[in-house]
Structure 1
Amino acid sequence: MSGLLVPLTLSLGAAPAQAASCTTSTGPYQKQVEKFMGRPVDGRQSPADCKAIQTFQRWHAITPTIGYAGPVTWRTMNTILAQRAAGTNPNKSGACPTNKGRIACVDLTRQLSWIQDGAKLKYGPVPVRTGRDGAETRTGAKKVYYRSIKHWSTLYKVWMPYSQFFDGGQAFHSVTKSMYNPPGSGGCVNMRPADAKAYWNLLKNGDDVHVYGRKPGT
């Protein structure tokens, strides 16, 4: 079973080069962002606040990367908090069916996915990156119908490793970018390479997929 690894700030190694500018403006979500980052919660932007926020923004390609505590930055952090709260019981609400045997569940609201067998968790939960506004990952009951371990997208002209299609052109597949990179995918369920490989090894054609919820910001 894979743990849910969603870093607060600097657990990914050396950060990219420092951005050239850092805003002095206090954002509308300043206190929430300060709390998330482990900064003193005073609701006022400081140089240290800005640098910490910039680091988070650079890791997840949130632009503009100026250290502003705006809606996209806070929405991303809030999603991470919701994922952490899921713990090892992501289906506590029972929203994903437990009467179908092996099933891959996708919760758009929390940007989480996991595989369960009945009510037993088999893998996950793991963070995913789903469809952006206007190209939403479609909800409902699906089935894996086509698998391609090294798929080439003729639409986007990119490789889609460990592709498992479950609804038209929408599939689970590996990407190398952050799971929190806005605005989202073209409709597919993007996964970290290790998670996409695990899904490849656990699922097969005909297995059920259940997608529910609504992605934040769509």
Structure 2
Amino acid sequence: MHRQRALIRTFGLAAAVVFGAGACGPQHGGAGPAAPSAPVASPSASASASGQDDKPGSPSPSASDSASPSGSPSEAPSRSAAPVVKAVMANGDETDQVRELQARLRQLKLMTSAPTGFYGSKTTAAVKAFQSQHGLDATGAVDEATWRKIQELSRKPTEEELRPPTTNEVAAPDPRCMRGRVMCISKESRTLAWMIDGKVVSSMDVRFGSENTPTREGLFQVEWKAKDWTSTIYHTPMPYSMFFSQGQAVHYSADFAARGYAGASHGCVNVRDKAKLSALFDQVRVGDQVVVYW
């Protein structure tokens, strides 16, 4: 009997850990579109979804148009369809080309945030503004004409412009971050600094849980990692998850990349730069420290 009870307690604890591990997901404050939970659409698919691949059909001639006064059939006037311009980049795309687009838009003073590689609402608004300024169709999607004009008026971005250290200035590290291998996470500056023996190796912008589902503060350890993970509660992707406290994790958020600080997580530490987090994920080991502080 004692053995059966021990097995039940062990199974219940394991189930709770698995259930809690998927407890993160984006919260929406009502502004902006929800984050895409399905695989990112290709440029051509995005264009089709916005109607840019729909060719106008030729209307059928009426009965009065199809016959001549003498009663013999007459040829209906030929009407050629308008040329279709496919989008090179559009909302929902996530590529290195999008990162270059964002860096060029920053040069043109149309974006202020650092490039993320994700084409969201901010990029769409910046592209619309550019198109309006230069007499182009203000669709918010980058067609060939828009891309040529952007390239003409800007220069090829440097690596520093494509991947700046961070949008936010890194805060002074907590004293607990100064020894060993630590993800040092400041709620005040909204940054994550990866530190080894007191030296900042890399840094990136982060966001946190809402008032109702706050990110826990304190000293933790990386408990386990999952490169491809989906929340078991909210069913949203959580790539490059590094779990540190009862289901709370550092992970990439497409919603954060798209909407910035207009949203929040359900307690996790969201990162919006996927490339930076991918590199960090490869460096962090299970057992490394995590410090979350103000």
Hey, what's the Cα distance between the residues in 1 that align with 2:168 and 2:229?
A: 34
AA paired with 2:209? G
Does residue 157 of the first structure (1) align with residue 252 of the second (2)?
Answer: no
Say if 1:205 and 1:85 are closer, same or farther in 2 by CA, change over 3 A.
closer
Instruction: Show the counterpart of 2:37.
Output: none
Match of 1:34 in 2: none
* Contact 2:179-2:198 within 8 A present in 1 as well: no
Q: Is the 8 A contact 1:96 1:105 kept in 2?
A: no
Measured against aligned partners, the alpha-carbon deviations of 1:25-47 in whole angstroms (never above 9, x if no partner) come to: xxxxxxxxxxxxxxxxxxxxxxx
Q: Pick from 97, 113, 137 the counterpart of residue 176 of structure 2.
A: 97
Q: Which residue of 1 aligns with 2:124?
A: 15
2:285 to 204, 208, 214: 204
Give the aligned residue type for 2:124.
A
How far apart, in 1, do the equivalents of 2:184 and 2:177 lie? 10
Is residue 187 from structure 1 mapped to residue 267 from structure 2 by the alignment?
A: yes
Match of 1:110 in 2: 189
- Unmatched tracts of structure 1, length 5 or more: 19-82, 214-218
Specify the alignment match of 1:139 in structure 2. 217
**Structure 1 or 2: more strand by fraction:** 1
Whether contact under 8 Å (1:172, 1:196) holds in the other structure is no
Aligned counterparts of 2:224 and 2:110: Cα–Cα separation in 1:
37
Is the alpha carbon distance of 1:105 and 1:153 closer, same or farther for their aligned partners in structure 2, counting shifts above 3 Å?
Answer: same
1:148 to 208, 220, 226: 226
Q: Say whether the 8 Å CA contact 2:221–2:290 is kept in structure 1.
A: yes
Give the whole-Å Cα distance in 2 for the aligned partners of 1:200 and 1:144.
Answer: 11
Structure 1 partner of 2:61: none
Residue identity opposite 1:182 in structure 2 = A
**Please, what is the CA RMSD of the aligned residues?**
2.9
Query: 2:201 is matched with which residue?
Result: 122
- In structure 2, give the amino acid aligned to 1:189: V
C-alpha deviation, 1:85, in angstroms: 6.9
* TM superposition score normalised by structure 1: 0.57
Note if contact 2:177-2:291 (Cα within 8 Å) is conserved in structure 1: no
8 A contact 2:242–2:251 mirrored in 1: yes
Provide the rounded CA distance (Å) in 1 between the counterparts of 2:240 and 2:199: 24
- 1:9 Cα deviation from its structure 2 partner: 4.9
Aligned residues: 142
Higher Rg of the two aligned structures: 2
Instruction: Please list, as runs of the form range in 1=range in 2, the aligned pairs for 1:21-40 lying within 5 A after superposition.
Output: none
The C-alpha deviation readout for 1:140-192, integer Å capped at 9, x for no partner, is 00000011110121111111111110011100111113353324111111112
Equivalent residue number for residue 178 of structure 1: 256
* Distance in 2 separating the partners of 1:160 and 1:176: 9
Provide the C-alpha distance between the structure 2 equivalents of 1:178 and 1:155, rounded to a whole number of angstroms. 19
- Counterpart of 1:194, as a letter, is A
Cα distance in 2, alignment partners of residues 169 and 102 from structure 1 = 21
Note the C-alpha offset of 1:201: 1.0
